Copies of this chain bind each other. A is one copy, B any other.
C-alpha cells in the first residue's frame, strides 16, 4: 500500500445500527480509513450465519459524511455483509470489523453469534475480518477497553492481513484492568438448563431461552473462557472450513454394510 492509500473498512453487528457497541467501534476504527457501516435496523442477536431468502431486503442511507457512510438494513448480519460487498461498496474492503457485541461470544457462542456470523461471512469473501465482543450485556456497558483493543488489533490486521479462510473472534473482559492479549482456542463446553417456562392467557406453555454455561475445560489456560476469566483479551483464530480432517481416514475404513454402501478411497 502506498502512503496515501486509505483503507476501506466495512462494519456490521447484530445488536443493530443504534447500539452503543457499534458506535464505539466506528469511533475506534475511523482514524484507520474510510468507514462504511451496513448494520441491521434493529437487534438480531443469536442470528448466527442466517440469511434471508424468502423475502426481499431493503437498505436505508442514514448518514453520508466524508469518510463515514452508514446504512441500515432489514436483514440479518450476514445479509448486511453480502449487501455491502455485492451492492453498496465500489471496491472490496480491506477489512471487515463487526460488533462490538454487547455480551461474550467466546466458546461455542461463536456458533450462535450474529456478530461472528458477519465476520465469518467476510472471511468467506476472502477479506480480513474480525468480530469484537465485550463480556457485558448492558446497553450502556463501558466499551472503553474494548474500543481500545479493537483499534489496536484492527490496525495490526490491516497491516498484516489474515490467511484465506481464517478470521478472528476477539472477546474483551468487562473488567477495568486488562492484563494483555492471549491467543486462544475455542473453549469446549455447552449450555445447560436452557429454558424457563411461563403460561400464557390460553394456558399454553411458553419456553424462554436462558441457560448456564458448562465449561468442560475450566483449567485450560489456552482456552478463551480461561483468558477472559483471568483478565485477558481472548483472540481465537476461527476458520470457515468445518471439516474434521483427521476423521476422514477413519471413516474411509468403515466396514462395508453392503455393496451399495461402498466407500470410495
| Chain B CB within 8 A of A220 CB | no
> Known: A238-B243, A240-B111, A243-B236. Contact between A262 and B181, CB under 8 A?
yes
Interface of A is mostly: mixed
Q: Are A209 and B49 in contact (CB under 8 A)?
A: no
Q: Are A183 and B251 in contact (CB under 8 A)?
A: yes
> Known: A165-B188, A207-B58. Contact between A262 and B180, CB under 8 A?
yes
Q: Are B195 and A82 in contact (CB under 8 A)?
A: yes
Q: Map CB proximity to B onto A231-260 as digits: 1 under 8 Å, 0 otherwise.
A: 010011111111111011001101001101
Q: Are B46 and A51 in contact (CB under 8 A)?
A: yes
Number of interface residues of A (CB under 8 A): 87
| A222 and B265 alpha carbons, distance in the complex (Å) | 9
Closest Cβ of chain B to A121, distance in Å, is: 8
Q: Are A190 and B50 in contact (CB under 8 A)?
A: no
Given contacts A48-B49, A58-B206, A152-B260, 10 further A-B contacts (CB under 8 A): A48-B51, A49-B111, A56-B206, A57-B207, A82-B195, A87-B197, A149-B261, A181-B262, A183-B252, A237-B243
The 4 closest A-B pairs by CB, nearest first: A56-B206, A237-B247, A180-B262, A48-B48
